[in-house]
Amino acid sequence: MSLFDHREFVEHEQISYFHDPVSGLKSIIAIHDTTLGPALGGCRLWPYASDEEALTDVLRLSRGMTYKAAIAGLNLGGGKSVIIAKPGDKGEALFRAFGRCVAALGGRYITAEDVNTTVDDMEFIHQETDEVVGLRTEQGGSGDPSPFTAWGAFQGLKAALVRVFGTPDLQGRRVAVQGVGHVGQHLARMIRDEGAHVTATDVDSERLAQAKEIVPDLEIVKPEEIYDVKADVFAPCALGASINEKTVPRLRCRIVAGSANNQLATTECGTELGRKNILYAPDYAINAGGLINVAYELEGYERSRAERHVGRIYDIMTRIFNYAQEQSIPTWLAADRLAEARITALRGLRPRHLPEHARPVRVRRPFPLGSNERPSFL
Ligand code: NAD
């Protein structure tokens, strides 16, 4: 089959295959769209069963990054890379070889951490190229992105609460959190700190025990039971596709708002949520906090600027909900259209000439409402 006929090939600009016989590196870098700026996206290391499987993953993920950067108001395009290897194959030679591949793209692609890659791996890549973010704070980097992702998701959740209940107040509400890993734990604590009850689940008992230390009155249910919990908000913070044909009929919430990537098994499931009167906060918009944070490394990292931008996820989400309502379309489609509108408009116009709906969101007010306090995750 031709690459150009691949089902995940959607007007990608560039797909590069790399092999380094010395380190054994086999990697694919996909650049989906660079209209808004260089393509930024993480490097995933995974023992793919075939090159075809790796290609499918990198094409799908790189396109998603274009939308995430666009809706977040970043001047970045979308790209992603995969290394076909087992976690046990990791080492300096592999990542330095990969760094040379990134350098060969001449600044069109900037890499970062993703599944099975860490800040240490980024340091190896950094020895070969400057086109890498997600470095240690001591190296001018931004450190762990998870608290920022959680903070952004918290802002998006608040915007959803306002839309559904007319108030961002969490006092007395119940939130069901699926997955209390890096992001889920922070999010659970932020929600609890504002007076909501949190029900959580995880397949990893150690993670649950950690979460219980952070949120002592956490109510725990079995992984399969989380969909049946009667709650105001269901927050998917584990793996993708948790909103699917089997789970949508079981949900007993008014809002779906969480950090997981690719939450909808199909877009039809997102539309079905709307039919059930459940407000869906589109995943790539609500979980953009980590990307926003890391993007600030490119201009000399300043935590306060990154925090302010992550806080805008409240406004971004509000705009998506407004647009969905005006156009009578599902929220997942509203997010796609707003992201596409910004890209399309910027292909030929300078930002100040953009129509209102294509402009990046500006901060209208800090959040929590009326407060200039530093975010509670600090
Ligand atoms: P993580 O691996 O630290 O946490 C995920 C947790 O989900 C783990 O504790 C895992 O045991 C649990 N889990 C897996 N399958 C489960 C299931 N079926 N039921 C219940 N729990 C299950 O990952 P993370 O960094 O916290 O990210 C969580 C999600 O958010 C992922 O989808 C990730 O892609 C997405 N995301 C994360 C960031 C970030 O900054 N870390 C940024 C954007 C998006």
For each of the chain's 378 residues, which pLDDT tens digit applies?
A: 688 988 888 889 999 999 999 999 999 999 999 999 999 999 999 999 999 999 999 999 999 999 999 999 999 999 999 999 999 999 999 999 999 999 999 999 999 999 999 999 999 999 999 999 999 988 889 988 999 999 999 999 999 999 999 999 999 999 999 999 999 999 999 999 999 999 999 999 999 999 999 999 999 999 999 999 999 999 999 988 999 999 999 999 999 999 999 999 999 999 999 999 999 999 999 999 999 999 999 989 999 999 999 999 999 999 999 999 999 999 999 999 999 999 998 886 554 444 555 555 544 433 333 333 444 443
Distance 106 CA to ligand 1 centre (A): 32
Would you say residue 90 lies in a domain? yes
Structural domain span for residue 169: 146-337
315/163 Cα distance (integer angstroms): 12
- The minimum-distance atom of ligand 1 relative to the CA of 180 is 9
Rounded CA-CA distance 71/267 in Å is 18
pLDDT of residue 372: 37
Q: Is the CB of 261 under 6 A from ligand 1?
A: yes
* 171 and 123 assigned to the same domain: no
Ligand 1 centroid vs 237 CA: distance in angstroms? 5
3-state secondary structure of 72: coil
Do 224 and 306 fall within a single domain?
yes
Whether residue 137 lies inside any domain: the answer is no
Tell me, yes or no, whether 47 lies in a domain. Answer: yes
Cα(188) to centroid(ligand 1), Å: 13
Residues 104 and 160 in one domain: no
Site to substitute for ligand 1 among 113, 149, 187, 199, most atoms within 8 A of C-beta: 149
Q: Which atom of ligand 1 is nearest to the CA of 181?
A: 4
Overall domain count for the chain: 2
Q: Indicate the pairing of strand 219-220 with strand 109-110.
A: unpaired
Atom of ligand 1 nearest to the CA of 145: 40
**H helices present in the chain, as ranges:** 51-71, 92-104, 119-126, 146-165, 182-193, 205-214, 267-275, 283-286, 289-295, 303-311, 313-327, 331-348
The whole-number pLDDT of residue 349 equals 55
Q: Decide if 191 is inside a domain.
A: yes
Q: How far, in Å, CA of 31 to CA of 288, rounded?
A: 19
Is 237 a pocket residue for ligand 1 (Cβ < 6 Å)? yes
Residues 287 and 322 in one domain: yes
* Domain-embedded: residue 100: yes
**pLDDT at 331 (0 to 100):** 98
Q: Are residues 195 and 331 in the same domain?
A: yes
Is residue 59 included in any domain, yes or no? yes
Q: Does residue 116 share a domain with residue 260?
A: no
Q: Quick check: CB of 233 below 6 Å from ligand 1?
A: no
212 within domain boundaries? yes
Q: Ligand 1, atom 8: nearest CA belongs to which residue?
A: 181
Co-location of 124 and 156 in the same domain: no
Nearest to 26 by CA among 53, 66, 62, 5: 53
Is residue 110 packed enough to be buried (19+ CB in 10 Å), middle (13-18) or exposed (0-12)?
buried
The total number of residues written for the chain in this structure: 378
> For residue 355, what pLDDT is reported?
53
For residues 241 and 293, state if they share a domain.
yes
pLDDT of res. 373:
40
Check the CA dihedral 215-221-222-227 and report its sign: negative
* CB of 260 sitting under 6 A from ligand 1: yes
Q: Is 120 helix (H, G, I), strand (E, B) or coil?
A: helix
Q: Is residue 257 within 8 Å of residue 160, measured between CB atoms?
A: yes
57 and 165 part of one domain: no
312 and 171, same structural domain? yes
**Residue bearing tokens 């290394």:** 83
Phi, psi (5° rounding) for residue 72?
A: -80, -5
Q: Answer yes or no: is the C-beta of 354 below 6 A from any ligand 1 atom.
A: no
Catalytic residues: 80
Measured from the CB, is residue 35 less than 6 Å from ligand 1?
A: no
Distance 178 CA to ligand 1 centre (A): 9
Are 229 and 88 contained in the same domain? Answer: no
